[in-house]
Amino acid sequence: MHSFISKTTSQTKRIAKKIRETYPNHNLILLSGELGSGKTVFAKGIGALLGIDERHIKSPTYTLIHEHASTPKLLHADLYRLQAKDEIIMENINLWIEGKGIAIVEWPEVALEDFQKPHLHITIEKNGEDERLITVIEKNDERSGI
């Protein structure tokens, strides 16, 4: 488990990039944290690494999923509005990863135990107006050894 303190949005984006570079095989990233904690800011940091204009990464609240044609391609989901686990969305995410894409999921709690491994479960806690505690937990697939 790794923890980071961020005091600005740019630090959060930098931490996101560093985490992605530290765990290049973890192509699924789950982001937990209360409303306004910085999950989408974190996603913008990952997007920047892939060359995606950060204005194109926003909370996909109404669509649930946004797909970005970067290399590798990025799927950005926000499950806040889901009342229950949705098999079609889970299958979409699985196929996306199998197709060499990266997937970021905000509000993964509705299906937390069901996401494929390996993945990173990142929690962002608000420690005040601008300070955030960012914690990374690696969930590894015992079978593949990573």
Ligand X SMILES: Nc1ncnc2c1ncn2[C@@H]1O[C@H](COP(=O)(O)OP(=O)(O)OP(=O)(O)O)[C@@H](O)[C@H]1O
Interacting residues with Mg ion (CB under 5 A):
39-40, 59, 106
- Is 32 near ligand X (CB under 6 A)? no
Structure tokens at 134: 């960012």
The string of DSSP letters for 22-64 reads: H-TT--EEEEE-STTSSHHHHHHHHHHHTT--GGG----TTTS
Report d(CA 98, CA 144) in Å as an integer.
14
Choice from 2, 9, 65, 89 touching ligand X (CB under 6 A): 9
- Is 22 near ligand X (CB under 6 A)? no
Of the pair 96, 107, the CB lying nearest Mg ion is at 107
- Give the interface size with ligand X as a residue count (CB under 6 A): 19
Stretch near ligand X under the rule CB under 6 A, chosen from 30-38, 46-54, 88-96, 136-144? 30-38
Choice from 26, 38, 75, 111 touching ligand X (CB under 6 A): 38
91 binds, among Mg ion, ligand X, none (CB under 5 to 8 A by kind): none
- Is 76 near ligand X (CB under 6 A)? no
122, 104 in Cβ contact below 8 A?
Answer: no
**Could you tell me which of 20, 54, 41, 25 has the C-alpha nearest to residue 141?**
25
Instruction: Determine the residue with CB nearest ligand X.
Output: 38
Cα distances (angstroms) measured from residue 120 to each of 29, 30, 103: 5, 6, 11
Return the residues of window 42-61 that contact ligand X according to CB under 6 A.
Answer: 59
83, 51 in Cβ contact below 8 A?
Answer: no
- Is 63 near ligand X (CB under 6 A)? no
Choice from 20, 26, 39, 121 touching ligand X (CB under 6 A): 39
